[in-house]
């Protein structure tokens, strides 16, 4: 790890929540804000943020990159770096941040589009970091451990790193292994919980093709839920709203379609960290918004 710790950074960041979290991931947003606050990170909300550009990465390169760059400009105008929660947003914004920092020709080209679309130019300096990376790298498991007042001892968590958080490695300075990611495990350990490894752990949620081929996407989801069921876990832990839609919102549909019973609670990482820090599951961590209710898990901790 070469990244500077939080104490050596300025504590103010633009929070990029994107489209999905804003309406369908309020439990993620509220828990991430609470946990960030507890570690002294101040989030600034920028009204000018819009779509991150990710959906257009399947349509047109320049459009996707320009939409992403326009968002980076919003942060640049306020002198802020960006913290993201959604992995798809992380992928799109990091790609723009990296490509436009390294490649002047590409930056000039995108800036022409921005100029002609009425946006200020992008200077190529804004950094984008996923909130999990903030917890893992800037804050670190050791500091998280010190804040734990309600250790999650005896609980088994199946981490799902997803895709655009650490892959492709060249965009993310290889801060976590692209083939065998482990950062979620380190944070789960810090909370006192037990991370479990399962078959095909690195495989994706299939969320990207849900609108293309729903049947195939649900098969992709089902195979992972099965792998986790085989190993046994109290909850799955993830950090992307797409993944949560697939594993949490779709779980009942999948149980019916494949004649399976999973009843596997799916928690966002900040919900797990917040729980260990003694936060209120409903009020602070929005757990009543999780589709599969983590009742049994909370009962094990003696929390209502």
Per-residue DSSP letter, 137: I
Can residue 259 be called a binding residue for other proteins (CB under 8 A)? no
Could you tell me if 263 and 225 are in contact, meaning their C-beta atoms sit under 8 angstroms apart?
no
Can residue 59 be called a binding residue for other proteins (CB under 8 A)? yes
Least distance to other proteins, CB of residue 67, Å: 5
Could you tell me if 272 and 287 are in contact, meaning their C-beta atoms sit under 8 angstroms apart?
no
Can residue 302 be called a binding residue for other proteins (CB under 8 A)? no
- Per CB under 8 A, the segment of 125-133, 143-151, 152-160, 165-173 that binds other proteins is 165-173
Could you tell me if 157 and 185 are in contact, meaning their C-beta atoms sit under 8 angstroms apart?
no
Least distance to other proteins, CB of residue 141, Å: 25
Can residue 257 be called a binding residue for other proteins (CB under 8 A)? no
CA atoms within 13 A on the CB side of 46: 26
The answer for residues whose C-beta is within 8 angstroms of residue 86's C-beta and 6 or more apart is 16, 17, 18, 20, 21, 25, 52, 240, 241, 242
Can residue 30 be called a binding residue for other proteins (CB under 8 A)? yes
Can residue 161 be called a binding residue for other proteins (CB under 8 A)? no
Among 94, 119, 183, 191, binds other proteins (CB under 8 A): 119
Could you tell me if 29 and 85 are in contact, meaning their C-beta atoms sit under 8 angstroms apart?
yes
Nearest Cα neighbor of 132 from 272, 24, 27 is 272
Can residue 159 be called a binding residue for other proteins (CB under 8 A)? no
Where does this chain bind other proteins (CB under 8 A)? 19-20, 22-24, 26, 29-30, 33, 45, 47-48, 50-51, 55-63, 66-67, 70, 88, 113-114, 116-119, 163-164, 167-169, 178-179, 200, 202-204, 206-214, 216-217, 219-220, 223, 242, 245, 286
């Amino acid at each position: 790890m070469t990244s500077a710790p939080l104490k050596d950074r300025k504590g103010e960041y633009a929070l990029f929540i994107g489209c999905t979290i804003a309406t369908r991931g309020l439990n993620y947003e509220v828990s991430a804000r609470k946990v960030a606050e507890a570690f002294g990170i101040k989030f600034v909300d920028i009204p000018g943020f819009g779509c991150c550009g990710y959906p257009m990465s399947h349509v047109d390169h320049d459009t996707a990159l320009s939409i992403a760059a326009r968002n980076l400009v919003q942060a640049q105008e306020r002198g802020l770096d960006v913290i993201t929660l959604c992995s798809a947003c992380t992928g799109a914004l990091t790609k723009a941040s990296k490509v436009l920092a390294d490649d002047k020709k590409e930056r000039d080209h995108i800036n022409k589009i921005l100029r002609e679309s009425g946006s200020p130019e992008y200077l190529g300096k804004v950094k984008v970091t996923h909130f999990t990376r903030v917890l893992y790298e800037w804050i670190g498991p050791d500091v998280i451990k010190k804040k734990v007042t309600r250790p999650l001892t005896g609980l088994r968590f199946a981490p799902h790193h997803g895709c655009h958080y650490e892959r492709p490695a060249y965009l993310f300075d290889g801060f976590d292994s692209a083939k065998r990611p482990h950062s979620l495990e380190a944070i789960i350990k810090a909370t006192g919980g037990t991370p479990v490894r399962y078959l095909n752990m690195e495989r994706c949620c299939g969320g990207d093709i849900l609108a293309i081929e729903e049947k195939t996407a649900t098969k992709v989801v089902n195979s992972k839920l099965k792998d986790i069921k085989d190993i046994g876990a109290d909850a799955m832990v993830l950090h992307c709203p797409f993944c949560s839609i697939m594993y949490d919102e779709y779980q009942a549909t999948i149980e019916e379609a494949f004649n399976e019973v999973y009843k596997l609670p799916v928690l966002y990482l900040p919900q797990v960290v917040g729980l260990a820090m003694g936060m209120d599951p409903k009020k602070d961590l929005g757990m009543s918004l999780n589709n599969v209710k983590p009742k049994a898990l909370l009962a094990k901790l003696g929390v209502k």
